[in-house]
Amino acid sequence: MSSYILALDQGTTSCRALIFDKNGKILASAQEEFPQYFPEVGWVEHDPLEIWTTQERMARKAVQDAGLTADQIAAIGITNQRETVVVWDKSTGEPVYPAIVWQDRRTADFCDQLKAEGKAGLIQQKTGLVIDAYFSATKVKWILDNVPGAREKAMAGDLYMGTIDSWLIWKMTGGQKHITDVTNASRTLLYNLTDLGWDADMLTLFDIPSKMLPQVCDSSEVYGHTQADFLGAAVPIAGIAGDQQAALFGQMCTQEGWVKNTYGTGCFMLMNIGDKPILSKNNLLTTIGWKIGDEVSYALEGSIFMAGAIVQWLRDQLEFFGDAQEIEGLASSVESSDGVVLVPAFVGLGAPHWNQQAKGQILGLNRGSHKGHIARAALEAIALQTRDILSAMEADSGVKIKELRVDGGASVNNLLMQIQADVLGVSVVRPKMVETTVSGAAFLAGLAVGYWSNTEEIERIWEKDQTFEANPDRSSMEQLLAQWDRAIETVLFWSKA
Ligand SMILES: Nc1ncnc2c1ncn2[C@@H]1O[C@H](COP(=O)(O)OP(=O)(O)O)[C@@H](O)[C@H]1O
Ligand SMILES: O=P(O)(O)OC[C@H](O)CO
């Protein structure tokens, strides 16, 4: 009887489940969006129980659609939106507050206070991260400080905290396992990047009781089994990675200096930097790519908060088109953006600027500017933000890259990929399988149970779809790059008001 891998991808906007065979081919896939809650300006919340029931339904649907039974699933891999955090009562299983999502800015003032107190150096040295509301620690602190009785319960050891992987595994195992993996732990601001353990100084700084923390595991090992009622029989859970690290693995960027960029809601570029962390001098993050056995691979990361989300904004708020894919035709209707620059700082600016107060701007409009120019400027903004990250990454690592591997929902846009190659002056390579996040989770799980024997076997599965070569004439790019740099300066200046 053939066996398969089930991979779960709990993303920011949807829950997905995919079944993979040994050749990395997808047998079935199920996906459903779940509600987003915006209770106040800058706040973003999810209902952890809605996430759980949606994810459970998708897992069952994928197995059913593939015509499989639970005993044909060799292992389950999990990948998840990162930083988003849940605090729950370990006796009742009830979350004490909604999940606070990575995009949520409610703790921005507290972060500014930490910066003013000069804590940035210590935090970077310990965790590889910058001080920003993006990461989990300040969100957990906020829950403990604001939910009546929560801090007392946490001190008494009655509450658990966890990123979404922890929450799902706790549910899937019927409350037996409270775990996470190194990649998710490395996004909390609480995990020591070199000691590979929860950091006592960070726990004190953020006032978080250690009793709440999950046990940190490798990215590929058998952690435990699902309860039988999840799929009909107990199935090993054997892979966990935050979604961007899973994509780095799914893209098989297993060699030092290899880089991938995922174009989803945001854009996340990661470079494999080998077995030692490099602390960025250019405001990038250092994070754990994965840990398999005793081997740890570190990564430099640049996080862009608005990428595909700009396309959604043009679709939903400005009603430029009805479907995201129509942006390609609209942006191709003009030769250039004709001086129009869109800086999508709708939720502040992420790497390398990390400005929490920045607001979006459209600059350089003239009497002839129309939707086509703005649509093209939107695609250019995705590519130009990526260029700022790559420049910082090359400076930090000393590696000059020749090739960028791409994936994610917006990477299907050929015009965007061509603009990206032109802006960076490097080849942009899109694999046949752009579902690299979820395949990364499948690979990690499959390796743990011997479904695939080693990464070389998986590398043979990775297949190129298309390469976008950069226009060798850089002159037309120079103007665009200079305009962008001036636009960023303007946005940063405006944020001081
Ligand atoms: N053809 C396209 N061109 C540009 N952007 C697109 C296109 N298709 C989808 N998108 C954008 O890609 C994003 C969805 O990609 P996905 O990888 O599913 O994101 P996430 O995992 O962050 O939810 C959306 O923000 C959408 O606007
Ligand atoms: O769910 P995505 O694909 O938007 O990814 C979110 C990131 O993990 C945030 O760090």
Mean pLDDT per 10-residue segment, the chain (497 residues): 90 94 94 92 94 97 95 96 96 96 92 93 95 94 97 96 98 96 97 96 96 97 95 95 95 92 93 93 94 95 92 94 96 96 91 87 96 98 96 91 92 96 95 87 96 91 90 85 95 87
Residue nearest to atom 11 of ligand 1 (CA): 308
Which ligand neighbours the alpha carbon of 165 most closely?
2
CA 301/CA 393 separation, integer angstroms: 8
Residue 351 is predicted with a pLDDT of 84
Tell which CATH architecture fits domain 4-244: 2-Layer Sandwich (3.30)
Pocket-forming residues, ligand 1, beta carbon under 6 Å: 11-13, 264-265, 308-309, 311-312, 324-325, 327-328, 408-410, 412-413, 416
Sorted by where each begins, the domain ranges of the chain are 4-244, 252-431+463-497
- Ligand-binding annotation for 14, yes or no, is yes
- Ligand-binding annotation for 411, yes or no, is no
Q: Which of 210, 216, 167 is nearest to 193 (CA)?
A: 216
Which ligand neighbours the alpha carbon of 247 most closely?
2
The one-letter amino acid code at 122 reads L
CA 433/CA 412 separation, integer angstroms: 11
Element (H, E) at 396: helix 371-397
Tell which CATH architecture fits domain 252-431+463-497: 2-Layer Sandwich (3.30)
Residue 1 is predicted with a pLDDT of 58
- Range 285-303 burial, b when 16+ CB lie within 10 A, else e: bbbbbbbbeeebbbbbbbb
Instruction: Name the one residue in this structure whose structure tokens are 């994810």.
Output: 55
The residues, any chain, with a CB within 8 Å of residue 117's CB and separated by 6 or more, are: none
* Range list of H helices, 24-119: 48-65, 108-116
Residue nearest to atom 10 of ligand 1 (CA): 410
Residue 432 is predicted with a pLDDT of 86
**Matching fold, domains 4-244 and 252-431+463-497:** yes
CA 493/CA 490 separation, integer angstroms: 5
Most informative mutation of 268, 303, 305, 382 for ligand 2 (most atoms within 8 A of CB): 268
Most informative mutation of 51, 244, 354 for ligand 2 (most atoms within 8 A of CB): 244
Most informative mutation of 413, 415, 434 for ligand 1 (most atoms within 8 A of CB): 413
